[in-house]
Amino acid sequence: MTVTNNIQAQSPALSASNVQDQAENLFTASSIWIQTHWLQIIIAVAAAAVIVVVLHFLRRLGHKLCNLRPGAAGWGTVFGRAIVKTGNFFIVMVAAKLVAGYANAPHEVASTISFLFTVSAVFQAAIWAREIILGAIEHRTGSETYSGEAIGSAMGIIRLLVTFALFAIALIVVLDNLGVNVTGLVAGLGVGGIAIGLAAQGIFGDLFAALAIIFDRPFRRGDAISYDTSSGTVEAIGLKSTRIRAATGEERIIANRNLLDKEILNTSQREYRRCQFKLGLVQWTPVEKMEKLPGMLEEVIEGCGRKFVRAGFIGFGEASYDFDVEFDSPTSSFEDFFAARHAVGLGIIKRLNTEGIELAYPTQTAFTAAPRGGMIAPYPDGPIHGENAAPIVDDPATTAELKPSGDRSAVDQDSHP
């Protein structure tokens, strides 16, 4: 008895005789079913044919959705492409699954239909998911508001990764439905994925950063951005790096991952540019003129066609009374901002000159204390110097005769032996 059990345990689970027996059982059950339920089978086949025609009609609607908006891929085009990818085998198996119950199919036939339907449904779902994911990426990259970033070089790798991941999951699901132990396969795929990820983590990091730029849209091609101490205009967003043209002409290339780790200022997305001037008035400026200064500045700014924001006293300088004035250039263009700053600055200078208001400049005067108190002027009281000044006559009482020194350490030893 023990020998018999060992022989049965060692015999292969799948052999030619087993396959032949199962095929014969399936054929026999199908023959009996057709002979006993032929009317139900005819009605079921007719219903299945109608279902197939309806599903083919729905697939044709996918072609119409693809042609609604030529050019950039809209969401209608994305779902239309997914519908077009519906396979004929899946359509047939859906129809068979729907009518199998009505025809009272035997267990062997019903289980076969269920298995084939599961296989077709799992792989069809993987195809739909792939088309929708890739279509969503194309939709974001090809958007009219996003200028169609140069991510086309990455689409090949993205398509490969998405296809591999989805069909690997589909294969595991099918094998699990067949009763296969997929634990080892899942573990192997996990270890392989970790190895590939560690080997190419830099590339994948920049690739995912590029996708983050596309979907999150912190900036787009043509935007002027600033990061750290650098600034420039975005020329291209690639698979690994972003190219930025600086105002001084050179092209700066920075990895996408490093760029997203920094604080980015997108100056192109602003609605206006604000300019600020600090005016230092001399400390003998009359208070009446200082009270009128904000109104004067507002008139100058509005006369230049710019938006006045605020102006007023902000503090006491070391040698000035400090005022602040702010105004806006109505566009985000740096050229408009530069022209506005120039026009308003010159306008303020002209108005201050007209009103007799002087701007302070750095000055410093040093005074020396007298021994008995008071201050000594930093300059002597003497005759007037200049063209009309009288000639200075030497006074013998104050003139000292210069005599040679006996110290030979600071003179030329060779000339004075």
Q: Is the pLDDT of residue 91 over 60?
A: yes
* Mean residue pLDDT across the chain: 75
Lowest mean pLDDT among 177-191, 282-296, 300-314: 177-191
Where is pLDDT greater, at 261 or 28? 261
- Model pLDDT, residue 322: 92
Residue % of the chain over a pLDDT of 70: 67
For the residues of 158-169, what is the DSSP string, one character each? HHHHHHHHHHHH
Q: CA 337 to CA 326: how far, in whole Å?
A: 13
Which residue type is seen at 8? Q
For 42-54, how does the pLDDT look when each residue is reduced to its tens digit (9 = 90+)? 877 888 888 888 8
Strands 230-237 and 273-281: unpaired
Q: What is the DSSP letter of 363?
A: -
Q: How far is CA 212 from CA 150, 193, 218, in A?
A: 14, 21, 9
What percentage of the chain exceeds 90 in pLDDT?
Answer: 8
The single-letter code of the amino acid at 70 is P
Strands 321-329 and 368-369: unpaired
Q: Between 397 and 354, whose confidence is greater?
A: 354
Q: Mean per-residue pLDDT for 336-359? A: 90
pLDDT digits (tens, 9 = 90+) for 297-341: 999 998 888 889 999 999 998 888 999 999 998 887 778 888 899
Residue at 261: amino acid letter = D
CB contact at 8 A, 83 and 58: yes
pLDDT surpasses 70 at 415:
no
Is 50 exceeded by the pLDDT of residue 157? yes
pLDDT of residue 411: 44
Residue 278 has pLDDT above 60, yes or no: yes
Between 293 and 59, the higher pLDDT residue: 293
- Spatial separation of the C-alpha atoms in residues 271 and 330, rounded to whole Å: 7
325: region left, alpha or beta (phi > 0 left; psi from -120 to 50 alpha): beta
pLDDT confidence of 346, banded at 50, 70, 90?
very high
Task: Give the DSSP letter string of 237-297.
Answer: E-SSEEEEE-TTS-EEEEEHHHHHTS-EEEGGG-S-EEEEEEEEE-TT--HHHHHHHHHHH
Task: Return the H-helix or E-strand segment holding 310.
Answer: strand 307-316
151 contacts: CB under 8 Å, gap ≥ 6: 137, 141, 210, 214, 237, 238, 239
Confidence of residue 144 (pLDDT cuts 50, 70, 90): very low
Give whole-number Cα distances, 44 to 47, 51, 91, 118, 390, in Å.
Answer: 5, 10, 15, 20, 132
Q: Is the pLDDT of residue 254 over 70?
A: yes
How does 315-350 read in b/e, with b if 16+ C-beta sit within 10 Å? eeeeebbebbbbbbbeebeeeebeebbebbeebbee
Query: Residue 176 — very low, low, confident or very high, per pLDDT cuts 50/70/90?
Result: confident
Local confidence band at 257 (pLDDT 50, 70, 90 cut-offs):
confident
